[in-house]
Amino acid sequence: MLLRFRKFLIYGIRRHKCRPFSVSSVTSSSRKGLVLGVYDKDKDEGSIRFTDAGASFDKLVSGKLTQMLSISGPPLKMGKSRVFYGLHQDFPSVAVVGLGKKGVGVCGKENWDICRENIRAAVSVGCKQLQDLEIPHVEVDSCGDSQSAAEGAVLSLFEYDEFKGKKKIHVTPQLHGSADPGAWEKGVLYGDGQNLARSLMEAPANHVTPKLFADTIEQKLSPFSDRVMIHKRPKSWIESEQMGAFLSVSKGSEEPPIFLEVHYTGAPDSSKGPLVLVGKGITFDSGGISLKSSSGMDAMRADMGGAASVCSTIVTAAALKLPVNIIGLTPLCENMPSGKATKPGDVVHAKNGKTIQVDNTDAEGRLILADALCYAHSFNPRALVNAATLTGAMNVALGSAASGVFTNSDWLWDQLYKASVITGDRVWRMPLFQHYTRQVTESALADLNNIGKYSGSAGACTAAAFLQEFVTASHWAHLDIAGVMTNKDEVPYLRKGMSGRPTRTLVEFAAGLASEP
């Protein structure tokens, strides 16, 4: 009898995976799902190790969940899941997900909190399975960390389908039970922030021009008008600020440049200087006269990933009401070839008076950042952090494992590192040796060369050395995020596409500054 029941159960699971319920064939009340977690069993344990929510549900259904897990196959490993049906009238579909070992924490080798990452990954599997079954209402087990569970749910359910006729069913995950709803809401806001950056990066370049980018951020910040001030600086203002490096990049495009300046005042009475975030905002990068190859050029719609993550960080900080003052600066333009475009070998003047020999117009991000960094110093920043999809060399160096960080401040590095351990969106410190500075300051025609005299080596390091020539702040960090711009399958709780990284790490970093003495 037990053998026949097991065959029936496995057949039912497989049948529903291959032929999910259609939306029209079930009532809305039955289209509700639940995601529950289960830990790896210790060797001396004979029973299944549920989370608190899982144990409560199993008790509610008189042990049926334990029975079905026991007879449906081997114990669930980390990131694996099974879906069961008809266990309880309130939750006709229940996804049980493997959380790995219980009680693990920060791993020194991996530089992240394994428990938090396991929760994000496991919850994402269950949520995606239930979404694929077209179940619009999903409750999620906190799995011992409500914030991480919320992040895994919200991030995994995002898919950019704005221009598709057939869209995935929209799912708004909710916390199951009453386990720390404040932390859950915080996780939702963290996830929403990164999804905003993903949405901006995924959108076609003809739908996110400099103006449309600025308008989108203005709209997203409109609910927080009491704490946020926005300036969309036009080309005339950029000219008046003598941002010749920025203007040299925008010359080839018909789209006018915009310098977007956002002020979030979360601590109006603070005597501390603001955190200033600067993001590279190339809304499409053709390479200019130094034209890129056509293969993969479509992905250059996301070359404003730095601006997207910076602005999304401020949107999230405002939603969280973080008690910290933040200023976001994002120079926005396209890098296009035309009769007006900057030519290789041209010399341009930056805001601080330094001249730059532009030997490669595809090394444009550092040019627009140079002027933005100069302007950032006028706010006497407590810390100055810029983020940019700057160099393919960073992708070669670190791949998608971590954002590269170049910084002149041990204190600032510690703050960024601690934030990344919590979020799982890691950072890795890179060198700022004088060895690299000499490569960009020895130029035939100008004070600086935008690619350095050895253009084929250490490209991420020489780009950082170039930016440092426009920095006098004691606490500055440059995040090269080119390697983390996209996700294939490396981060299990993100679908394939633009990643929106490292938005959550920047938010966590800002939150840490709010409590830093």
Domain that holds residue 79: 2-157
Query: Average pLDDT of 144-155?
Result: 98
Do residues 350 and 436 both lie within one domain? yes
What radius of gyration, in Å, describes the C-alpha atoms of the chain?
A: 25
pLDDT band at 46 (very low <50, low <70, confident <90, very high): low
Do residues 468 and 420 both lie within one domain? yes
Do residues 149 and 223 both lie within one domain? no
The 10s digit of each residue's pLDDT in 446-499 is 999 999 988 778 999 999 999 999 999 999 999 999 999 999 999 999 999 999
Number of domains in the chain: 2
Q: What is the pLDDT of residue 264?
A: 98
The DSSP annotation for 358-424 comes to ES-TT--HHHHHHHHHHHHGGG--SEEEEEE---HHHHHHHTTS-EEEEES-HHHHHHHHHHHHHHS
Under 8 Å CB-to-CB from 471, ≥6 apart: which residues?
373, 377, 384, 408
CB 251 within 8 A of CB 341: yes
Do residues 231 and 341 both lie within one domain? yes
Q: What is the pLDDT of residue 103?
A: 82
Q: Is the pLDDT of residue 120 over 80?
A: yes
Look at residue 175 and tell me if it is in a domain.
no
Look at residue 24 and tell me if it is in a domain.
yes
Look at residue 244 and tell me if it is in a domain.
yes
Active site residues per annotation: 292, 366
Q: Return mean pLDDT, the chain.
A: 93
Query: Average pLDDT of 274-299?
Result: 97
Look at residue 248 and tell me if it is in a domain.
yes
Do residues 134 and 243 both lie within one domain? no
Q: What is the pLDDT of residue 23?
A: 37
pLDDT band at 27 (very low <50, low <70, confident <90, very high): very low
Highest mean pLDDT range out of 44-53, 160-169, 423-432, 451-460? 423-432
Instruction: Show which of 103, 137, 157 is a domain's final residue.
Output: 157
Do residues 310 and 413 both lie within one domain? yes
In order of 208, 307, 428, the CA distances from 200 in angstroms are: 7, 10, 25
Q: Is the pLDDT of residue 384 over 90?
A: yes
CATH number at residue 283: 3.40.630.10
Do residues 212 and 140 both lie within one domain? no
In the chain, pLDDT over 90 holds for what percent of residues? Answer: 87
The 10s digit of each residue's pLDDT in 315-334 is 999 999 999 999 999 999 99
Residue 237's Cβ-count burial label (10 Å; 0-12, 13-18, 19+) is middle
Q: Global pTM?
A: 0.93
Q: Is the pLDDT of residue 4 over 80?
A: no
Do residues 333 and 391 both lie within one domain? yes
Look at residue 385 and tell me if it is in a domain.
yes
Do residues 97 and 244 both lie within one domain? no
Q: What is the pLDDT of residue 319?
A: 98
Q: What is the pLDDT of residue 516?
A: 79
pLDDT band at 43 (very low <50, low <70, confident <90, very high): low
Query: Average pLDDT of 51-62?
Result: 96
Do residues 127 and 221 both lie within one domain? no
Look at residue 148 and tell me if it is in a domain.
yes
Instruction: Show which of 157, 186, 213 is a domain's final residue.
Output: 157
Look at residue 213 and tell me if it is in a domain.
yes
Look at residue 182 and tell me if it is in a domain.
no
CATH number at residue 149: 3.40.220.10
Range with the lowest mean pLDDT among 40-44, 368-372, 381-385? 40-44
Do residues 97 and 217 both lie within one domain? no
Do residues 202 and 138 both lie within one domain? no
What the block records as the tokens of 192 is 């929403």
